[in-house]
C-alpha cells in the first residue's frame, strides 16, 4: 500500500457496510484489522512496501492513554528500520506486527506449554476457516504459516475420500443473487483413517459437527448448525452442507462484526428447511446399515427382532457355522462359534437404536425359571465330581445373569434337585 492507502486502512470504520465491494472482498465494516489486533495487543504496527517505498503507521494504546489524544502514529525511517529488524520486509507487501500482547498470559497462561496449546488452536482454526484459500479453490493458493511451518487445509467435507457422497448443487435466487447449496455425506468412521477421523471432528465429535457450513466469499463464517431447522441426531451426524453466500447479501444474513455468526433470511430458511430432510437421508442410510447386511440374500450371524415395545437380537440358528455345532461339540468347535458371535455382534446397529430412544427387550419366556433350568448341564458336571448344590449356588450368585435373580438359592434347589 502507498502512504494514503495505509492511512485509510488504519482508520476505524474505513468503509460503510453498504458500500459496494468486489465479489472477493472479505471485509464489510472496516474494523477487522484494528479490532482484531487491539483485542490481542497494546501496540499495532503496519508496515507496507509498494514500488520500493516503505510506509509505516502505528496504533499504541499506551500512547493514547498518556496523551488522551486519538493519535495515529506515523513512523519515521529510523523507527521503520528498528521495526523491520523484527519483521523484515524485503519485497512489496505488508507486515502486521503485534507487540505487548498483554492478554496472552491471562487468557492462555504464562507457560510455554500454554502458548503452544494456543498456537495449535489458532492453527486448527485457520486451517478450517481458510481451507478453500489454502487449497487454491476458486483462486490462487494462499500460503499461511506459523513459525515458518505451512498450515494444511482442513476440508470439513473430506472431498478427497472416495467414500464421501455428494449431492447435486442446489441454487437459491434472491435479490438477483445466487446462493448455492451442496450436501455431502461423510464416510462411516470405519472406512477412514485415524487422521481423517480427527479431521472430521470439527467440534468435539461428529454429532456436534453436522449441519450447514456457510461460506462468504470462500471464507467459512458459520459451521456445525442446522439453524434450528432440525435437531442434531446420531443418524444425521455424517451430513454436512456447503452453503456459498455472496458478500452482496450481507444485509440479509445479519452478519456480525466478527463475521463469525450469521442467520439466514426467511426465504433461504424456508428453502433449506425443505432440503434438510433430503440432505440427511444419505447419512441415515450410511449409519443404518453398519452392523447389518445391506443385501437381502446375505445370511447374518445375528438377527434383529423389532416390535412396538422395543428390539432384541438373536443368534441366527440357520447360519451354517451355528448349525454345524450339532455335529462338532469339541472345544475347538465351541471356540469357533464363540469367536463368530463375538466378532460379528451388531454394535453399530445397537448404538443407533439406543441413540434414537428405542428400548431393548428380552424374550417373554426368558424368565428366572427358564434361566435356572438352563443350568442343568452345569449342575450335572458339578454333581459328577462330588460338588453339592450349595457349591453351585455359591458360584452362580456372582455370575451374570443369575446374580440378578433375587431368590436364586431357593429356585435352584427347587429346579435342579
DSSP assignment string, 370-382: HHHHTTHHHHHHH
Which phi and psi angles does 305 have, rounded to 5°? -115, 120
Whole-model pTM: value is: 0.67
Residues 47 and 99 in one domain: yes
Can you tell me the distance from the alpha carbon of 243 to that of 279, in angstroms, rounded to the nearest whole number?
Answer: 13
Query: Would you say residue 130 lies in a domain?
Result: yes
Query: Would you say residue 337 lies in a domain?
Result: yes
Q: What was the pLDDT predicted at 288?
A: 60
Alpha carbon distance, N-terminus to C-terminus of the chain: 97
Q: Are 301 and 344 within 8 A, CB to CB?
A: yes
Domain encompassing residue 309 = 302-416
Query: Would you say residue 400 lies in a domain?
Result: yes
Closest C-alpha to 372, from 341, 403, 337: 403
Q: What was the pLDDT predicted at 44?
A: 93
Residues 106 and 169 in one domain: no
Can you tell me the distance from the alpha carbon of 121 to that of 124, in angstroms, rounded to the nearest whole number?
Answer: 5
Contacts of 263 (CB under 8 A, 6+ apart): 227, 253, 254
Q: Write down which residue in 105, 125, 150 finishes a domain.
A: 150
Residues 59 and 26 in one domain: yes
DSSP assignment letter at 189: G
Strand partners, 47: 56, 95
Query: Would you say residue 157 lies in a domain?
Result: no
Cα–Cα–Cα angle for 77, 80, 84, rounded to 5 degrees: 140
Number of domains in the chain: 3
Residues 371 and 272 in one domain: no
Residues 137 and 251 in one domain: no
Residues 342 and 392 in one domain: yes
Q: Write down which residue in 106, 126, 150 finishes a domain.
A: 150
Residues 186 and 307 in one domain: no
Query: Would you say residue 329 lies in a domain?
Result: yes
Residues 28 and 112 in one domain: yes
Q: What was the pLDDT predicted at 294?
A: 45
Residues 257 and 311 in one domain: no
Q: Write down which residue in 115, 150, 185 finishes a domain.
A: 150
Q: What was the pLDDT predicted at 29?
A: 57
Query: Would you say residue 295 lies in a domain?
Result: no
Q: Are 21 and 33 within 8 A, CB to CB?
A: no
Residues 15 and 127 in one domain: yes
Can you tell me the distance from the alpha carbon of 389 to that of 291, in angstroms, rounded to the nearest whole number?
Answer: 41
Query: Would you say residue 405 lies in a domain?
Result: yes
Residues 14 and 97 in one domain: yes
Q: What was the pLDDT predicted at 12?
A: 79
Residues 352 and 274 in one domain: no
Beta strands at 239-245 and 310-315: parallel, antiparallel or unpaired: unpaired
Question: How many CB atoms within 10 Å of residue 139?
Answer: 11
Which phi and psi angles does 224 have, rounded to 5°? 70, 45
Taking 50 as the pLDDT cut, the residues of the chain under it are 291, 293-295
Q: List the CATH number of the domain containing 260.
A: 3.30.230
Q: Are 44 and 37 within 8 A, CB to CB?
A: yes
Can you tell me the distance from the alpha carbon of 394 to that of 399, in angstroms, rounded to the nearest whole number?
Answer: 10
Query: Would you say residue 339 lies in a domain?
Result: yes
Q: What's the pLDDT tens digit per position in 222-235?
A: 999 888 888 888 87
Question: How many CB atoms within 10 Å of residue 373?
Answer: 12
Q: What was the pLDDT predicted at 14?
A: 61
Amino acid at each position: 500500500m502507498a502512504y494514503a492507502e495505509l492511512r485509510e486502512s488504519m482508520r476505524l470504520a474505513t468503509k460503510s457496510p453498504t458500500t459496494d465491494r468486489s465479489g472477493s472482498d472479505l471485509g464489510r465494516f472496516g474494523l477487522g484489522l484494528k479490532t482484531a489486533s487491539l483485542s490481542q495487543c497494546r501496540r499495532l504496527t503496519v508496515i507496507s512496501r509498494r514500488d520500493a517505498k516503505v510506509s509505516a503507521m502505528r496504533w499504541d494504546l499506551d500512547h493514547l492513554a498518556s496523551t488522551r489524544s486519538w493519535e495515529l502514529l506515523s513512523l519515521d525511517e529510523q523507527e521503520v528500520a528498528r521495526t523491520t529488524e523484527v519483521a523484515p520486509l524485503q519485497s512489496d507487501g505488508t507486515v502486521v506486527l503485534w507487540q505487548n500482547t498483554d492478554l496472552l498470559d491471562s487468557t492462555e497462561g504464562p507457560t510455554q506449554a500454554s502458548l503452544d496449546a494456543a498456537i495449535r488452536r489458532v492453527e486448527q482454526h485457520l486451517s478450517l476457516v481458510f481451507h478453500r484459500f489454502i487449497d487454491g479453490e476458486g483462486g490462487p493458493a494462499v500460503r499461511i504459516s506459523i513459525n515458518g511451518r505451512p498450515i494444511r487445509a482442513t476440508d470439513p467435507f473430506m472431498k478427497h475420500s472416495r467414500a464421501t457422497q455428494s449431492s447435486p448443487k442446489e441454487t437459491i435466487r434472491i435479490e438477483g443473487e445466487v446462493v448455492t447449496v451442496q450436501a455431502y455425506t461423510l464416510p462411516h468412521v470405519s472406512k477412514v483413517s485415524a487422521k481423517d477421523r480427527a479431521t472430521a471432528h470439527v467440534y468435539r465429535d461428529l454429532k456436534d459437527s453436522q449441519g450447514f457450513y456457510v461460506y462468504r466469499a470462500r471464507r467459512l463464517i458459520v459451521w456445525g448448525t442446522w439453524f434450528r431447522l432440525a435437531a442434531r441426531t446420531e443418524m444425521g451426524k455424517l451430513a454436512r452442507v456447503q452453503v456459498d453466500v455472496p458478500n452482496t447479501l450481507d444485509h440479509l444474513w445479519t452478519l456480525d462484526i466478527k463475521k463469525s455468526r450469521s442467520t439466514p433470511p426467511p426465504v433461504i430458511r424456508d428453502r433449506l428447511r425443505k432440503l434438510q430432510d433430503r440432505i440427511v437421508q444419505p447419512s441415515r442410510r450410511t449409519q443404518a446399515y453398519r452392523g447389518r447386511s445391506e443385501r437381502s440374500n446375505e445370511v447374518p450371524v445375528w438377527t434383529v427382532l423389532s416390535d412396538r415395545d422395543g428390539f432384541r437380537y438373536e443368534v441366527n440358528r440357520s447360519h451354517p457355522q451355528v448349525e454345524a455345532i450339532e455335529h462338532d461339540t469339541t472345544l475347538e468347535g465351541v471356540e469357533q462359534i464363540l469367536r463368530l458371535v463375538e466378532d460379528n455382534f451388531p454394535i453399530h446397529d445397537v448404538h443407533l437404536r439406543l441413540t434414537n430412544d428405542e428400548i431393548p427387550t428380552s424374550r417373554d419366556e426368558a424368565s428366572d425359571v427358564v434361566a435356572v433350568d438352563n443350568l442343568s448341564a452345569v449342575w450335572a458336571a458339578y454333581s459328577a465330581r462330588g460338588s453339592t448344590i450349595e457349591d453351585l449356588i455359591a458360584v452362580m450368585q456372582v455370575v451374570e445373569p443369575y446374580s440378578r435373580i433375587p431368590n436364586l438359592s431357593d429356585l435352584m434347589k427347587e429346579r435342579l434337585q
